[in-house]
Structure 1
Amino acid sequence: MRRVLSAVTLSVLAASGCGTTAKQTATPASASPGAASAAVAPIAWGACTDLVRPDGAPPAKPDPGTTCGKLKVPLDYAKPDGETIDLALIKIAATDQAKRIGSLVFNFGGPGGSGVDTLAQAAKSFTTLGARYDLVSFDPRGVERSSGVRCGGSAEMDAFTSLDTLPNDAATRAAGQAANRRFAELCQRDSGKVLPYIGTVNAARDMDRIRDAVGDAKLNYFGMSYGTQLGAVYATQFPKNVGRMVLDAPLDPTVSFEQRTIAQTRGFQQAYESFLKACVQEGCELGANAKAASRAVGKLMVTLTAQPLKVGTRELTQGLAVTSVAAALYSELSWPFLEAALGQAIAGEGDAMLYLADSYNGRNADGTYSTQMTSFPAITCVDSAERPDQATLDRTEAAALKISPLFGSAGAGSLCTVWPVPGSDEAKHVDATGSGPIVVVGGRGDPATPYQWAPKLTEQLKTATLVTYEGEGHGAYLSGSKCVKGLVDLYLLQGTVPKEGATCSA
Structure 2
Amino acid sequence: MSQASRASSSGRAVLGLMIAALSLGLSPDAVRASGALEWGQCSPDLVDKYPELGDRLQCAALRVPRDHHDPGKGKVALPMLRVLAGKPDQRIGSLFVNPGGPGGSATGFAASMGALFSMADPAHPIARFQRDIVDRYDIMAIEPRGLAGQWLFKCRSNIARKATESFDVDPGEANLANIEFNARLESSACQNQPHAALINTDQALRDMDLARAAVGDARLNYFGVSYGTWLGAWYAATFPEHTGRMLLDSNMNWTGSFDEALLDQPEAFQRAFEETLIPFMASHPERFHLGSDPVKIIQDYRQVRPQLRSKNRFWALSADNKQLEFSARVVAGVLLVERILAAHPDIDLDATLMHVDRYFDELGETDANAGIYAKNAARWHFSDNPPRPEQPFELEEEESVYRAVVCNDTSSQNDPDFWRSQMFAGSAQYSLRGGHGLQQPCHDWALPVVEPRDFGAIAQTEGLLMLQASHDPITSSSGAMKAFDFTQNARMIQVENNLTHGLFPQLTQCVDAKVADFLLEGTFPGRMTHCETPQPGEMSVAERSAQPYADADRADLLRQRMRELSTSKGLL
TM-score by length of 1: 0.76
The amino acid across from 2:307 in the alignment is V
Structure 1: gaps (5+ residues): 1-31, 306-317, 354-367
Pick from 88, 92, 95 the counterpart of residue 101 of structure 1.
Answer: 92
CA contact (8 A) 2:212 2:218 kept: yes
The structural deviation recorded for 1:350 is 8.3
Which residue of structure 2 aligns with residue 5 of structure 1? none
CA distance in 1, matches of 2:378, 2:145: 35
CA 1:286/1:137 → structure 2, altered by over 3 Å: closer, same or farther?
farther
CA distance in 1, matches of 2:306, 2:528: 42
CA distance in 1, matches of 2:321, 2:82: 30
CA 1:276/1:215 → structure 2, altered by over 3 Å: closer, same or farther?
same
Pick from 110, 113, 116 the counterpart of residue 122 of structure 1.
Answer: 113
Correspondence 1:479 to 2:506? yes
1:243-322 paired onto structure 2 within 5 Å: 243-256=244-257, 259-273=260-274, 274-282=276-284, 283-285=286-288, 287-288=290-291, 291-292=296-297, 295=300, 299=304, 302-303=307-308, 318=311, 321-322=312-313
The structural deviation recorded for 1:338 is 3.4
CA contact (8 A) 1:261 1:400 kept: no
CA distance in 2, matches of 1:337, 1:71: 42
The amino acid across from 1:485 in the alignment is D
Residues 475-504 of structure 1 show CA distances to partners (whole Å, capped at 9, x for unaligned) of: 332333321111111011011111223322
RMSD: 3.5
CA distance in 1, matches of 2:151, 2:379: 32
CA contact (8 A) 2:37 2:61 kept: yes
Which residue of structure 2 aligns with residue 178 of structure 1? 181
Which residue of structure 2 aligns with residue 439 of structure 1? 465
1:364-379 paired onto structure 2 within 5 Å: 371-379=397-405
Which residue of structure 1 aligns with residue 39 of structure 2? 45
CA distance in 2, matches of 1:427, 1:93: 33
The structural deviation recorded for 1:324 is 4.0
**Aligned partner of residue 322 in structure 1, secondary structure:** coil
The amino acid across from 2:185 in the alignment is R
**Aligned partner of residue 452 in structure 1, secondary structure:** helix
CA contact (8 A) 2:168 2:434 kept: no
CA 1:172/1:36 → structure 2, altered by over 3 Å: closer, same or farther?
farther
CA 1:256/1:496 → structure 2, altered by over 3 Å: closer, same or farther?
closer
**Aligned partner of residue 220 in structure 1, secondary structure:** strand
**Aligned partner of residue 380 in structure 1, secondary structure:** helix
Pick from 142, 148, 153 the counterpart of residue 149 of structure 1.
Answer: 153
Structure 2: gaps (5+ residues): 1-24, 118-129, 334-371, 382-393, 534-572
CA contact (8 A) 1:221 1:245 kept: yes
CA distance in 2, matches of 1:68, 1:107: 16
CA 1:427/1:324 → structure 2, altered by over 3 Å: closer, same or farther?
farther
CA distance in 1, matches of 2:375, 2:299: 16
Which residue of structure 1 aligns with residue 546 of structure 2? none
CA distance in 2, matches of 1:98, 1:258: 46
Residues 72-109 of structure 1 show CA distances to partners (whole Å, capped at 9, x for unaligned) of: 11111122243222222211110011100110000111
The structural deviation recorded for 1:348 is 4.4
CA distance in 2, matches of 1:59, 1:188: 37
Which residue of structure 2 aligns with residue 25 of structure 1? none
Which residue of structure 1 aligns with residue 219 of structure 2? 218
The structural deviation recorded for 1:445 is 1.7
Residues 339-385 of structure 1 show CA distances to partners (whole Å, capped at 9, x for unaligned) of: 455644641478999xxxxxxxxxxxxxx985333322211111112
Which residue of structure 2 aligns with residue 74 of structure 1? 65
Percent identity over the alignment? 26
The structural deviation recorded for 1:219 is 0.7
CA contact (8 A) 2:87 2:135 kept: yes
1:331-410 paired onto structure 2 within 5 Å: 331-340=320-329, 343=333, 344=372, 346-348=374-376, 371-409=397-435
Judge which range, 211-220 or 289-298, deviates more: 289-298
CA distance in 1, matches of 2:506, 2:42: 29
Which residue of structure 1 aligns with residue 166 of structure 2? 164
CA contact (8 A) 2:234 2:453 kept: yes
CA distance in 2, matches of 1:425, 1:401: 34
Correspondence 1:496 to 2:523? yes
CA distance in 2, matches of 1:351, 1:107: 37
CA contact (8 A) 2:156 2:395 kept: no
The structural deviation recorded for 1:238 is 0.8
Which residue of structure 1 aligns with residue 120 of structure 2? none
**Aligned partner of residue 431 in structure 1, secondary structure:** helix
CA 1:256/1:223 → structure 2, altered by over 3 Å: closer, same or farther?
closer
The structural deviation recorded for 1:216 is 0.6
Correspondence 1:505 to 2:532? yes
CA 1:172/1:479 → structure 2, altered by over 3 Å: closer, same or farther?
farther
**Aligned partner of residue 478 in structure 1, secondary structure:** coil
CA contact (8 A) 2:261 2:479 kept: no
TM-score by length of 2: 0.67
The structural deviation recorded for 1:284 is 4.9
CA contact (8 A) 1:181 1:418 kept: yes
The structural deviation recorded for 1:242 is 0.9
1:446-461 paired onto structure 2 within 5 Å: 446-461=472-487
The structural deviation recorded for 1:392 is 2.3
CA distance in 2, matches of 1:352, 1:117: 32
CA 1:111/1:294 → structure 2, altered by over 3 Å: closer, same or farther?
farther
CA distance in 1, matches of 2:93, 2:113: 20
CA contact (8 A) 1:377 1:412 kept: no
The amino acid across from 2:236 in the alignment is A
CA distance in 2, matches of 1:351, 1:89: 44
Residues 244-289 of structure 1 show CA distances to partners (whole Å, capped at 9, x for unaligned) of: 1111211112334554344221111122222233234334558456
The amino acid across from 1:176 in the alignment is I
CA distance in 2, matches of 1:413, 1:269: 18
Residues 173-223 of structure 1 show CA distances to partners (whole Å, capped at 9, x for unaligned) of: 22211221222343356xx12310011111111110010111111111111
Judge which range, 34-43 or 83-92, deviates more: 34-43
CA 1:255/1:299 → structure 2, altered by over 3 Å: closer, same or farther?
same
CA distance in 2, matches of 1:493, 1:164: 48
Pick from 119, 138, 141 the counterpart of residue 137 of structure 1.
Answer: 141
The structural deviation recorded for 1:453 is 2.7
The structural deviation recorded for 1:120 is 2.3
Residues 16-66 of structure 1 show CA distances to partners (whole Å, capped at 9, x for unaligned) of: xxxxxxxxxxxxxxxx9957853532322222216x8xxxx8894363221
Residues 119-142 of structure 1 show CA distances to partners (whole Å, capped at 9, x for unaligned) of: 223331443311100001232112
